[in-house]
Chain A
Amino acid sequence: MKNRLLEFVVAVSAVALLSVTTTAGAGTLEDVKKRGVLRCVVSTGVAGFAYPDKSGVWKGFDIDFCRATAAAVLGDSKKIKAVTSTGKTRFTKLNANEGDVLWRNTTITFSRDVGVKLRFHGVNYYDGQGFMVNKKLGVKSAKELNGASICIQTGTTTELNLADYFHANGMKYEAVPIETNDEARQNYVGGRCDVYTTDASGLAATRSTFSDPNNHIILPEIISKEPLGPATRHGDDQWSDIVTWVYYATVTAEEKGVTQANVDKMKSSKDPEILRLLGVEGAQGKELGLSKDWAYNIIKQIGNYGEIFERNIGVKTPIGLSRGLNDLWTRGGLQYAPPFR
């Protein structure tokens, strides 16, 4: 989200250099297998998505997907290395081959897909920019925010979205520029701004840290599309396929009711798609260049999409996000995987 322009410039110039000086090495899959460790480009800390625990073990929604990839490729979800990167260095780290795959709550945009020369592989989290206000203001809709002071991270697309939205609705606002989420929190709690705006997941995470979370509401309006998904480098289609289908495998597993707990039992299911997914029938694994039980390993070690969601950012966690757009298509959400066939 932060300083997307700068990040873009750095990444594009790096790509320009890349195209001049390097040639593609062996396939990423072979590299990872030889190394025995999957290197994921992750963030330096986003609540619920990536953070180190007490003993320095990385956890979170993005990290679990990274572990799922490792489970599929190497058969062991522990064999990951978190390559920490900021919003500005994430694409260069990937393109400079310091990481194998990017799982770092990254919004898919045209310029990143085309300009930065990345391959995006589906949307594992649908986010969007929202507003949070104190209940005592009595505001029920973002349309009532005329004249409000708003805490906003400078130099981000959220800033542009905000300006567009207020302009389109003929409203005025007073921007309170802030740099980080923590700073926004202090300013908002201290009453320096009436409203805090950022991605809805970020709002929920921030609200969960208040001493009085129930006194604050997130307004229903979502004013931008922030589809977050994994990315890989251009030029390695096999590797791209693997990352794509790791994500689809978790969604398919949820759709078919395959969970971490019942995956062994499901191996004797009657549903041919489940059998194909778990490698009992068909040769999906082999076609990807992986072992037969690649998806079985994902579900056994990490779980299906719903389990990953609930464990890290779901209603029962301090972050407390409901599935919303990220529910399965069968339940009115947008999570949809092509058939395993």
Chain B
Amino acid sequence: MSDTAKTYKIGQHPDLPPPRTEVGVLGWFKHKLFSTPLNIALTLLAAWFLWSVIPPLFEWIVLDSVWTAESRKECWGKMEVPEGGACWAFIKDRLELFIYGFYPAPQRWRVNLSFVLLIMAIVPVLYDKMLARKFGLWYSVAFPFIAGWLLVGGFGLTPVETDQFGGIMLTLIIGVTGISFSLPIGVLLALGRRSKMPVLRIVCVMFIEFIRGVPLIALLFIASTMLNYFLPPGTVFDLLLRVLIMVTLFSSAYIAEVVRGGLQAIPNGQFEAADSLGLTYVKAHLLIILPQALKISIPGIVNTFIGLFKDTTLVLIIGMLDPLGIGRASLADAVWAGLAREVYLFIALFFFICCFSMSRYSLYLERKLHTGH
């Protein structure tokens, strides 16, 4: 045939489509999943594993689950086999307890309002393309105090004692406070540790090393049990406040070390350049050193924040009821007891959503600030 016999001049041959086994779905399978005998084995093993885990799990969590019931008995009665599905009715029944803890019901709008204000306060910090961001940032700085007033009350609002805080609200309070106060304190500590003034440096080193050498649990125990004895008798020093201070100090020591790592990565030339421009210490750091150092430190900082957020569950041990504590306490209710899996899955989901979004945001931030070569 003329087609096969056709000859082309050098460089004139039209592009042929690639072999069918090398592109598209088939090619993807061939290259990504079945390229070598080892990979074939691994692929099959993984497929078998997923096949044996996901369908039963999906059945348990979604298909066979019960959403409305008044007790565990009723829940299990609605299933083909008792315990054959998740009893989400329990979580639904306790949802308010999980969210607000023991916050008095008529005052819960204050928690909701604080949450909305929190979102409004986070946006200007996270996104720089916002309109009137400067005002937004001032608001963000003021937010912790506004929220504190809203939640605790006083000055026109009914006071609510902090031992009624609990659940997700408590986690968010500890997490957000810890995160927002530990970053500035941590940066100052890092700078202090690199300072040429010996007293300042030694104080900072001692503080950081002490905190890093002591487990958070121990600090929380100190906050909950020992601190009372050091204070003059009769002083009532709110437990939540003590915990907030301890958590903030704890994570600021870690932040300090992360930031110090960033600072050390800045070449000396940058400091010298700043000096030669006649910038003061403050200006040099604010304009030249810190922006670069913090950019390098982002993964470490976010890592510390995620760790801090998850560590908030430790307050359970000193008797504060975070979601985990609420879950455990609710499991002591004989009407529902025995549904531990549902509780822990629910709490895991909450923490996963929070931590995963923090981690995704940090990736976005890294990409945005990536101005390297």
Q: A residues touching B (Cβ–Cβ < 8 Å)?
A: 10, 14, 17-18, 20-23, 25, 44-56, 59-60, 81, 83-86, 88-89, 92-93, 96-98, 180, 182-183, 185-186, 205, 208-212, 317-319
In contact, A209 and B72 (Cβ under 8 angstroms): yes
Q: Which of B2-10, B44-52, B313-321, B350-358 contacts A (4 or more CB under 8 A)?
A: B313-321
Answer yes or no: B332 CB below 8 A from chain A CBs. Answer: yes
CA distance A119 to B287 in the complex (A): 63
**Once the chains bind, are A85 and B226 in contact (CB under 8 Å)?**
no
Q: Is the CB of A86 within 8 A of B229?
A: no
Q: Is the CB of B334 within 8 A of A89?
A: no
Contact A86 B334 (CB under 8 A): no
- Asked whether B229 lies within 8 Å of A14 as measured between CB atoms, the reply is yes
If A44-B325, A86-B319 touch, whether A22 touches B337 (CB-CB below 8 Å) is no
Assembled-state Cα–Cα distance A49/B333 (Å): 9
* A86-B318, A88-B317, A318-B335 known; A14+B226 contact, CB < 8 A: yes
Contacts A45-B330, A89-B224 aside, 10 further interface pairs with beta carbons under 8 A come to A10-B221, A45-B329, A47-B337, A51-B334, A52-B97, A52-B329, A54-B96, A55-B105, A84-B329, A182-B331
Given contacts A54-B97, A84-B319, A88-B317, contact A205 B328 (CB under 8 A): no
9 tightest A-B CB contacts, nearest first: A209-B338, A211-B82, A45-B329, A45-B332, A51-B332, A182-B340, A318-B334, A92-B225, A17-B229
25 residue pairs of the A-B complex, CB under 8 angstroms, read A17-B229, A22-B229, A25-B234, A45-B329, A47-B337, A48-B332, A51-B330, A51-B333, A51-B334, A52-B326, A52-B330, A53-B333, A56-B102, A60-B332, A84-B329, A86-B319, A88-B221, A89-B224, A92-B225, A98-B228, A209-B338, A210-B338, A211-B82, A318-B337, A319-B334
* Residue B115 lies at the interface, judged by CB distance under 8 Å to chain A: no
Assess A56 versus B229: contact at CB under 8 Å? Given A44-B316, A45-B329, A209-B338.
no
Given contacts A47-B337, A185-B340, contact A14 B225 (CB under 8 A): yes
Residue of B nearest to A13 (CB): B226
Given known pairs A23-B233, A211-B82, the reply for A45 and B331 (CB within 8 Å) is yes
B93 within 8 A of A: yes
B175 at the interface (CB under 8 A from A): no
- Interchain CB contact under 8 A, A22 and B233: yes
Q: Which residues of B contact A (CB under 8 A)?
A: 72, 76, 82-83, 93-94, 96-97, 100-102, 105, 163, 166, 221, 224-226, 228-230, 233-234, 239, 316-321, 325-326, 328-335, 337-338, 340-341
Give the complex CA separation of A77 and B228 in angstroms. 29
Q: CB-CB < 8 A to A84: which residues of B?
A: 163, 319-321, 325, 329
Q: Which residue from B166, B316, B337 sits with its C-beta under 8 Å from A209? A: B337
- Residue in B closest to A51 when the chains form the complex, CB atoms: B332
By a CB distance below 8 angstroms, the chain A residues around B229 are 14, 17-18, 20-22, 96
Q: How many angstroms from the CA of A48 to the CA of B332 in the assembled complex?
A: 7
In the assembled complex, the Cα of A44 lies from the Cα of B335 at a distance in Å of 17
Are A44's CB and B224's CB within 8 A? no
Instruction: Compute how far the CA of A53 lies from the CA of B321 in the bound complex, rounded to whole angstroms.
Output: 14
Q: How far is the CA of A221 from the CA of B47 in the complex (A)?
A: 50
Report the Cα distance A97→B320, complex, angstroms: 17
A83 engages B76 (CB within 8 Å): no
Q: How far is the CB of A43 from chain B (nearest CB, A)?
A: 8
Query: Of all chain B residues, which has the CB nearest A26?
Result: B234
The binding surface of chain A is classed by DSSP as loop
Q: Most chain-B Cβ atoms within 10 A of its Cβ — which of A18, A20, A54, A81? A: A54
Report B330 CB to chain A, min CB distance, Å. 7
In contact, A186 and B225 (Cβ under 8 angstroms): no
What CA separation (Å) do A21 and B318 show in the bound complex?
A: 22
Assembled-state Cα–Cα distance A177/B50 (Å): 30
Give complex CA distance A128, B221 in Å.
Answer: 30
Chain B residues near A22 (CB-CB < 8 A): 229, 233
Q: Are A208 and B93 in contact (CB under 8 A)?
A: no
A17 to B233, CA, bound (A): 12
Instruction: Report the bound CA distance from A9 to B164 in whole Å.
Output: 29
Q: Which residues of B contact A89 (CB under 8 A)?
A: 221, 224-225, 317-319
Q: How far is the CB of A49 from chain B (nearest CB, A)?
A: 8
Q: In the bound complex, do residue B163 and residue A83 qualify as a contact, i.e. CB atoms below 8 Å apart? A: yes
CB pair B334 A96 closer than 8 Å: no
Say yes or no: B334 contacts A83, CB within 8 Å.
no
Expressed in whole angstroms, the Cα–Cα distance for A81 and B104 within the complex equals 13
B338 and A185 within 8 A (CB): yes
| Chain A positions within 8 Å of B328 at CB level | 44-45, 180, 182
Chain A residues whose CB sits within 8 angstroms of the CB of B318 once the complex forms: 86, 89
Bound Cα distance A47, B339 (Å) = 13
How far, in whole Å, are A56 and B321 apart by their CA atoms in the complex? Answer: 11
Given that A56-B97, A56-B101 are contacting pairs, would A317 and B225 also be in contact in the complex, using a CB cutoff of 8 Å? no
The smallest C-beta distance from B102 to any residue of chain A, in angstroms, reads 4
Which residues of B are found within 8 Å of A18, using beta-carbon distances?
229
Alpha-carbon distance between A318 and B73 when the two chains are bound, in angstroms:
10
Chain A neighbourhood of B338, CB < 8 A? 185, 209-210
- Pick the residue among B94, B321, B337 that contacts A208 (CB under 8 A): B337
Chain B neighbourhood of A210, CB < 8 A: 338
Q: Chain A contacts of B233 at CB under 8 A?
A: 21-23, 25
How distant is B239 from chain A, measured CB to nearest CB, in Å? 8
Instruction: Determine the distance from Cα of A54 to Cα of B95 in the docked complex, in whole angstroms.
Output: 9
On chain B, the residues within 8 Å of A209 by CB distance are: 72, 334, 337-338
When A44-B316, A211-B76 are in contact, do A10 and B329 touch as well, CB less than 8 Å?
A: no
In the complex, what distance in Å separates the CA atom of A97 from the CA atom of B237? Answer: 12
Enumerate chain A residues within 8 angstroms of B333, measured Cβ to Cβ: 47, 51-53, 59
Q: Taking CB as reference atom, which chain B residue is nearest A57?
A: B102
Given A22-B229, A52-B97; A44-B329 close (CB under 8 Å): yes
Q: Closest Cβ of chain A: how far from B108's Cβ, in Å? A: 11
Looking at A85, A93, A182, the one whose CB has the most chain B CB atoms below 10 A away is A182
Q: What separation, in Å, do the CA atoms of A180 and B338 have in the docked complex?
A: 12
Q: Which residue of A lies closest to B335 (CB)?
A: A318
**Docked complex Cα distance between A83 and B83 (Å):** 34
Q: Looking across the interface, which residue of chain A has its beta carbon closest to that of B234?
A: A25
